[in-house]
């Protein structure tokens, strides 16, 4: 069948080169998005332990020439008369991940988090916050998307947990940056979920996903 398809395509397009191997589209999506996450300076899910403290960079460590569109965003300083502070998506994700780890690593913090969820009428459930893993890129998206739904709760508990946890509290602008990034990742997450749930390979699905994402 593949040989026949190759001959047909060759007759339509003389420049067509038949390949014997069709890469796994789920694997390609994983590699591609992992590379994108790295380009945004988002640390691996194996990154810093929550007890290591603040993960934010100073202005001196920030290089806007090497950053990208989402990373090249500035927040308003706490003092309105002060200079604007550069934001980095990688810092925002690292801070959120550390906060999630802090909650999950302590029974007392879990209880505080659960109670905060139950006290907030806007929160639909008190399920434990999601922590991503280094082998699946979409676990990072799941962590961010879940955190956005409980933004107020996470801001509240980060303040209640003390200095180390407070250093992982996201600013209003950082939350907005995470929200924008989730909108981009959402399309890749839907595509990954689709191909992972498919029991049989279909070239039409691959072509459709490729067209939608490019």
Residue 77 has pLDDT above 80, yes or no: no
| DSSP single-letter state for residue 130 | P
Model confidence over 166-194: pLDDT tens digits?
677 888 899 999 999 999 899 888 888 88
- Percent of the chain's residues with pLDDT above 90: 19
Report the pLDDT value the prediction gives residue 116, as an integer from 0 to 100: 92
- Helical H runs in 80-150? 89-104, 107-119, 137-149
Least confident of 46-50, 59-63, 119-123, 195-199: 59-63
Average pLDDT, the chain: 75
* pTM of structure: 0.68
Cα–Cα distance for residue pair 111/46, rounded to 1 Å: 25
The pair of three-digit structure tokens given for residue 114, joined into one six-digit string: 């659960």
Q: Give the chain's length.
A: 214
Average pLDDT over residues 133-151: 88
Q: Residue 41 pairs with which residues in a beta bridge?
A: none
Domain limits of the chain? 38-191
Which one has a higher pLDDT value, 94 or 211? 94
């Amino acid at each position: 069948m593949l040989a026949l398809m190759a001959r047909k395509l060759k007759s339509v397009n003389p420049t067509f080169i038949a390949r014997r191997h069709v890469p796994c589209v789920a694997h390609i999506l994983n590699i591609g998005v992992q590379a994108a996450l790295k380009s945004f300076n988002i640390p691996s899910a194996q990154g810093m332990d929550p007890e290591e403290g603040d993960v934010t960079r100073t202005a001196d460590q920030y290089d806007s020439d090497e950053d990208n569109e989402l990373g090249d965003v500035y927040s308003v300083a706490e003092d309105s008369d002060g200079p604007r502070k550069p934001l980095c998506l990688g810092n925002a994700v690292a801070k959120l991940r550390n906060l999630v780890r802090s909650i999950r690593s302590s029974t007392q913090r879990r209880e505080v988090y659960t109670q905060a969820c139950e006290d907030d009428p806007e929160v639909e459930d008190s399920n434990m916050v999601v922590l991503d893993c280094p082998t699946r890129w979409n676990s990072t998206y799941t962590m961010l998307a879940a955190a956005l739904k409980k933004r107020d709760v996470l801001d509240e508990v980060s303040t209640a947990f003390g200095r180390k946890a407070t250093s992982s509290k996201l600013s209003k602008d950082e939350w907005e940056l995470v929200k924008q990034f989730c909108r981009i990742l959402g399309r890749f997450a839907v595509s990954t979920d689709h191909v992972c749930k498919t029991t049989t390979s279909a070239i039409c699905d691959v072509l459709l996903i490729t067209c939608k994402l490019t």
